[in-house]
Amino acid sequence: MSTKNGKDYRGEDVEREIVRMLWLFHFATTDQLCRLLWNDGARSSRRKLVLPLRRLYDMHMIWREPRRTSPGYRSHLNGRAASGWSYGLTETGRMWATEAMPELTSLRCTTREGYMHNPDRRTITHSTHHTEFCTRIIERLRGDTSTVAIFIETESTVLGNHLRMDGLVRLRLRHHAASVVGQPRDERMPWHVPWLPTLRAPALEGTFDATFAIEIDEGTESLPILEAKAQNYRRTFMHGMLTMQRMRTDGGAYDLSAEPWHLVLCPPNIDPAEAVAYFPIPVVVMNSETRLANVSRVWNRGWPNSEVRMTTWEHLGRARSLMSAHYLNQDEQWVDLLGNIHDER
């Protein structure tokens, strides 16, 4: 087999990367896997996945089911689910992944009981919406010269078991675009992503980290629940900051029942004032403008003046990329994902 630029690759490499993506995202559609591996959703690229997916399925490393939208759930395609399949790893596939790619076991996500083994259709739909958001990040940034590294963790509990995010995303970016160091882009495999191996690695000079907590809102949670979620983020942030101060003054003593987030998300020995920037900014993706307005109101009531990004799938679809899309911030200003203010909506 070969890529469109003629570079040879093995079928086993494609199968390995499919397993890697399903480990990272838990569930993905045919179209998403195609874009994650080839950065292209064209029919010709989809055909290149047919044999590897069939082999993995025949070896009982992945499961699949026809993709369709559940009642009460709208897809990111204006309520219409694309044709194809939804895929996930079996226990056999997960065991193989830990042996072939041991670096994956460093991820700290803790899934709900039965989440991976017997997921219902709502779980799959919700998770593939998260996969879609992250797929768009990877498509935009994997070949950008401003990108240093990307970290993604699905169903992340890095803030504690009391606060499970749909996803944790950290982008390590250069302040100014620069020439790519290492292999030229056209010599890399199409599925190459500059993964960040650990959240605690300090940023290099000339770079910065942007960390986000992804929350996919399907409109099924009540507004009081979302206000309570904002309060939960606030309590978690305040507990970490208070514990950090105590550790600096009391020589390391802190409450072992809840690991402070700075011990997971920040470089070692960081100053508390600098640690604030490493706490993930909530990014809430919704289905309608009405829902966005209502959630923005209760979220700001639950955690006033905290940095936040809120958007809809329609806003994401209209933008040139997910990075430049319109997000409503805590001051009701329209900004891009990194917080730069848009001149106009």
State the pLDDT at residue 202.
84
Q: Is the pLDDT of residue 83 over 70?
A: no
Q: Which range, of 64-78, 193-207, 318-332, averages the lowest pLDDT?
A: 64-78
Instruction: Please write the tens of the pLDDT for every residue from 86-104.
Output: 999 999 999 999 999 998 8
Structure confidence at residue 107 (pLDDT): 61
- pLDDT band for 114, please (50, 70, 90 cuts): very low
Mean pLDDT within 295-322 = 97
Long-range contacts of 115-122 (CB under 8 A, 24+ apart): 115/26, 115/155, 116/26, 116/88, 116/89, 117/91, 119/27, 119/88, 121/68, 121/70, 122/70, 122/72, 122/73
Instruction: Match 């499961």 to its residue by tokens.
Output: 63
Residue 227 pLDDT > 80, yes or no? yes
Q: The pTM is what?
A: 0.88
**pLDDT 10s digits, 249-270:** 776 555 544 567 888 899 888 8
pLDDT given for residue 251 in this prediction:
62
Tally of residues, the chain: 345
Cα–Cα distance, 35 to 132 (Å, whole number): 10
Share of the chain above pLDDT 70, in %: 82
User: Domains of the chain (ranges plus CATH)?
Assistant: 11-214 (1.10.10.10), 217-335 (no CATH)
pLDDT at 273 over 70: yes
Higher pLDDT, 80 or 312: 312
Side-chain half-sphere exposure of 104, counting CA atoms within 13 A:
20
pLDDT in tens, 18-43: 999 999 999 999 999 999 999 887 77
